[in-house]
Structures are given as structure tokens and as C-alpha cells.
Amino acid sequence: MDGKAYCEYVSKTAPRTAELKTLLAAFCVGGVICMLGQGFTDLYAYLLPQAEESLVGSLTSMTMIFLGALFTGLGIYDKIGSVAGAGSIVPITGFANSIASPAMEFRKEGIVFGLMAKMFVIAGPVIVTGVVSSVIVGVIYRVIAVA
């Protein structure tokens, strides 16, 4: 048996993710996290009636990020993630988890070379993509505006 035939055999027989179960879990957990976010948005809008929409949005993000990091520290977020998958990765709390978890993990190698240096091993690409793409969008819009 050669490698190619074997790879075909493996891709046919390897245990698969339970599609329906994982999709349902992602849908429900993702939906609930977003509802929680909406709750904070409404709360901040009620508490700060004069505030601009962007301030309320920022406060909501900060709250969700705080909760994501806190639940990561308490060792709960990875348990949610093992069930919910994308349901807890895609929300902003998942972004917080991807920053807090390597920071915790590499704390053992010291604060500078461990915690601080390794904090962005997973979230780094996200920030780089975000900044680069926003610059591209800004330049294109500026060119259109000038033209």
C-alpha cells in the first residue's frame, strides 16, 4: 500500500466531528454571548444617555474583553470552548481569551520574555491583519476623496 492510497483510506475512515452537535453548540453559545453584549450596550446607553454610540460600543467591547480574560483566568473559558468551538472563538471574548491564555501559559518564562513577548502568539496575526487592512481601506478612501 502506498502513501496516496493510505491517505485516501484515512480521510475516508478517520473519526469526524459531530457536525450537527458542534454547529448547534456554536450557534447557541455565540448567540448567548452576543445577547450578553447587547445587554451591556443597553445598560451603558441607559446609564449614559448623553454618550455617543461609539463610546457605548467601546465600553461594551471593554466589558466583554474583561469578562473573556477573567473567565480564561478562572479556567472556565477553555471548558466553554471545548464544547462551543467557534461559538466562543469568534466573539470578542474569544479574542481576549487568545491574548490572556498565552500570557498565562508563558508567564513561567518570566514577565518580559514570557508573558509580554508571548502574549500575541495567537492574537498577533489578528492585530496585524486589522491594522494593515484598515490602512489599505483608509488610503483607498482618501484617494477617492481627493479624486
Site for another protein in 19-58 (CB under 8 A): 19, 22-23, 25-38, 41, 54, 57-58
Q: What's the first-to-final CA gap in the chain, in angstroms?
A: 64
Burial class of 36 by CB neighbour count within 10 A (0 to 12, 13 to 18, 19+):
middle
Q: Out of 47, 110, 113, 131, which residue is the one contacting another protein (CB under 8 A)?
A: 131
Q: Out of 47, 48, 62, 113, which residue is the one contacting another protein (CB under 8 A)?
A: 62
Q: Which residue has the cell 447557541?
A: 28
**Contact between 61 and another protein (CB under 8 A)?**
yes
**Contact between 129 and another protein (CB under 8 A)?**
yes
- Between 50 and 144, name the residue whose CB sits nearer to another protein: 144
- Between 28 and 48, name the residue whose CB sits nearer to another protein: 28
Cβ atoms of 25 and 87 within 8 Å: the answer is yes
Cβ atoms of 73 and 100 within 8 Å: the answer is yes
- Between 20 and 50, name the residue whose CB sits nearer to another protein: 20
Q: Mask: binding to another protein, 67-106, rule CB under 8 A, as x and -?
A: -xxx-xxxx-xxxxxxxxxxxxxxxx-xxxxxxxxxxxxx
Alpha-carbon distances, residue 89 vs 58, 59, 77, 107 (angstroms):
19, 20, 10, 22
**Contact between 113 and another protein (CB under 8 A)?**
no
